[in-house]
Amino acid sequence: ETGVTQTPRHLVMGMTNKKSLKCEQHLGHNAMYWYKQSAKKPLELMFVYNFKEQTENNSVPSRFSPECPNSSHLFLHLHTLQPEDSALYLCASSSLDRGNNSPLHFGNGTRLTVT
């Protein structure tokens, strides 16, 4: 149990499908993140939410749409993806408090395959 739960663990979708990834954290953190992990590349930060407000969007294509309804839940809505979007998508959370920033806590990821 990591404290950060991601569903589904595996997802195969066609380029015309619409699907959503879900992340839930039980750690009382106030910030949540989406990362993309591709083979032989560094982790890429996609989005950051701090107290439900999006604070980072690292030039992510609009076919990825995040949603953060509260500090414990984070979604990544996917539509019209490309095969190069196949990767492991990791959710993470942390506490962002003045003078006391906790490290990232990761979920186990969703392995996405776009066919």
Partner 1 sequence: AQSVTQLGSHVSVSEGALVLLRCNYSSSVPPYLFWYVQYPNQGLQLLLKYTTGATLVKGINGFEAEFKKSETSFHLTKPSAHMSDAAEYFCAVSDDGTASKLTFGTGTRLQVTL
CA dist 70 and 52 (Å) reads 6
Out of 40, 53, 59, 83, the only residue in the binding site for partner 1 (CB under 8 A) is 40
φ, ψ of residue 85 in degrees (nearest 5): -85, -5
Q: Tell the smallest beta-carbon distance from residue 90 to partner 1 (Å).
A: 5
Q: Is 115 an interacting residue with respect to partner 1 (CB under 8 A)?
A: no
Q: Is 2 an interacting residue with respect to partner 1 (CB under 8 A)?
A: yes
Q: Is 48 an interacting residue with respect to partner 1 (CB under 8 A)?
A: yes
Residue 47 DSSP SS3: strand
- Pick from 21, 9, 1, 5: which is nearest to 81 by CA? 21
Q: Is 71 an interacting residue with respect to partner 1 (CB under 8 A)?
A: no
CA distances from 2 to 24, 34, 80 (A): 11, 16, 31
With tokens 């982790």, the residue in question is: 43
Measured from the CB atom, is 2 or 15 closer to partner 1?
Answer: 2
Measured from the CB atom, is 48 or 68 closer to partner 1?
Answer: 48
Q: Tell the smallest beta-carbon distance from residue 98 to partner 1 (Å).
A: 11
Residue 69 DSSP SS3: strand
Q: Which residues bind partner 1 (CB under 8 A)?
A: 2, 4, 6, 31, 33, 40-43, 45, 48, 50, 55-56, 90, 92, 94, 96, 101-109
